[in-house]
Structure 1
């Protein structure tokens, strides 16, 4: 038996891949997933390999690296990544791994550099990834051009930066064109991060996303958020009231007058954009529903923009209002551990303490994030029990969760090289 065949037999992920494909192919649709999807280390490794190393991920905002030499770092499982602004404003992304002996190049979350220099042996790279210096001791025939940084796919649109670790990433152009259009009124080249937080939730990343994809729990969990947020964002939602539908029609007329896009747009189950009103009489996700920043974003002249909701699976949801925006990034840390990073954006000329109070700006989502953390962690603790078995989702209140689980199942099966069954064949 050759070495490759023997290593495949010994690799516990080989059996896990087949078991995972079998569970997904035969799962009861509209039910939560079997227990291993939420707590098994082998299945978590597959999530990282087949979802987070192959799908487009939200990395950060272009305003975080505004000038040449500005960089930010993030970790996709065991894969450290650098995103850096190069010459002529171009955004590059690289594996944060020196081509000498593999040390991380950039060890800070963000910063500004003239060149990318490895702190171990001072190998030096241009901002476009070319190796410039490796020391004279490498020998006269050493080919610098053969040892540039390994690139990571990166795309930008509407102020968002997306990365993909795969050699052949899936298409994303249609979504990016629409994202650029919907964020044009915000003039994203003129925003900044006013506040930022990261919290670690002791829960599987899918539970974190599932919790976000429904507001079934909101009445019992989120008093601060419900000072401004509607529980639904679509007039076709069976829970939508006549008063909500009338409010939507009125606001859409206003948004049309201001040339601000609002129509619901879907790109499969992965991406969703829609603008929906906040509660009548409120204009922002603040405790009192009033603007958290006096200086409005972009070209907007009216704070009453509702919330432009943007979903990007597997790791981001976002709210854009007239006065500020809140963007969220989810990154798995382990089978039962996830980091959720939240950033509050305002106009770049807004002055802290004059135009906005950072603590007031973040109060609603700080509270909501902590409430969601507790919910996800309790969900995880229950799922770990021997009593857990998949339970039914509400098709009325939890259709967003159903869509997420369908998307996850389809992408996992496809990336594993298995046929995706017709959804109607696997009803619960």
Structure 2
């Protein structure tokens, strides 16, 4: 629980165009409010369908103290359930991933089918009705290989997002890709600082030399600098867009909804996130016509940003661990038939984003340390280079106010 009065006062103190007050980044009560009003209500990126290719394959994801198991059933449907036995509440699936013919609680061996229905519960008596004790369902949607879940009893509409982004993502064939490498780091900073850092490249020139070997600091015609000091980028973009249009690849920025953004951005040089700019994998992704298809960038608040290229893709997932601790997981995907050492070199594939992630971790942690100080006072955002941060903060504040107004803070109860 959290203090409504305290939260209302802090929300009232927020000034448009300025960073949030200190409490939003370090206070236990505010973190509890974030979990209740954002993380237990919004759609969250959980993982990728290519992680669970066969029936019975599963992985778990933790949202605060709530563990969710995401599983592919025998009908090839991806489902999500609370990872909690309906008997006395024991956690069922231990670890991060696995494969099972059925889900069995280790405590008293209550056994569930891959569809969540209770199959077996011994010594429960003749009046016991197993149909009443299926696993509690978690809302789950899959779009072009990305799995999203929502803990909310009445999740926000997902259909508009799915319809909008599918034409952009589908040609990359991510549902049939494979994970070449996965990295998880824990940043000692509030989850909002991780997102804010991602939403601007004001810091890139001084901090991301590897990343800027191949991309521009901005990603499309909606950037205020596009066409002024971005003349070279505008020319490169126009040329690439003509080629993409001829190939039937959508590229126009999608920015009409506050919770997500999508754009196919031109590379400054080369075709991929490598030190040379050359492709990291020889296998072209999905149904793409070639490797030079720019960087398809998908952002969805509150916890994912992604880059899908012609030769590979990089998917990022953010999960809050505490007021000043955030888990960031990065997955590098390649064509499912790509062979390491033959089609791609793992170091070449991961070098740029490994370096960039480490640099971002340092920046976020340094930012958190400064915010912790008595000397912290919100400054001003740059409208030229921090508009993305301003958009995130506006979305966050609106979501918090909407959550308070709805006063829905109870865990959903959906039974299979």
TM norm structure 1: 0.93
Q: Deviations over 1:156-179 (max 9, x none)?
A: 111100000011011121111122
1:335 is aligned to 323
Segment drifting more, 191-200 vs 352-361: 352-361
Aligned residue runs from structure 1 range 31-110, under 5 A: 31-110=18-97
Segment drifting more, 409-418 vs 28-37: 409-418
Residues of 1 paired with 2:152 and 2:406: CA distance? Answer: 18
Are the counterparts in 2 of residues 125 and 133 from structure 1 also a CA contact under 8 Å? Answer: yes
Residues of 2 paired with 1:301 and 1:350: CA distance? Answer: 17
Unmatched segments (≥5 aa) in structure 2:
408-416
Cα distance, 1:269 vs structure 2: 1.6
2:414 is aligned to none
1:261 is aligned to 250
Given the alignment of the two structures, is residue 30 of structure 1 paired with residue 51 of structure 2, yes or no? Answer: no
1:245 to 234, 259, 280: 234
Residues of 1 paired with 2:345 and 2:41: CA distance? Answer: 39
Cα distance, 1:87 vs structure 2: 2.1
How many pairs are equivalent?
A: 404
1:353 to 341, 354, 370: 341
Q: What is the root-mean-square deviation in Å for CA atoms of aligned residues?
A: 1.2
Residues of 1 paired with 2:140 and 2:129: CA distance? Answer: 27
1:117 is aligned to 104
CA gap of 1:127–1:267, structure 2 versus 1, over 3 A, is: farther
Are the counterparts in 1 of residues 280 and 344 from structure 2 also a CA contact under 8 Å? Answer: yes
Cα distance, 1:128 vs structure 2: 0.7
Segment drifting more, 139-148 vs 405-414: 139-148
Cα distance, 1:100 vs structure 2: 1.2
1:389 is aligned to 377
Residues of 2 paired with 1:145 and 1:238: CA distance? Answer: 58
Cα distance, 1:418 vs structure 2: 7.6
2:259 is aligned to 270
2:176 is aligned to 190
Residues of 2 paired with 1:187 and 1:225: CA distance? Answer: 24
Q: Which runs of 4+ in 1 moved over 3 A?
A: none
Cα distance, 1:266 vs structure 2: 1.9
1:423 is aligned to none
Cα distance, 1:365 vs structure 2: 0.5
Q: Deviations over 1:246-280 (max 9, x none)?
A: 11110000001111110111242211110011113
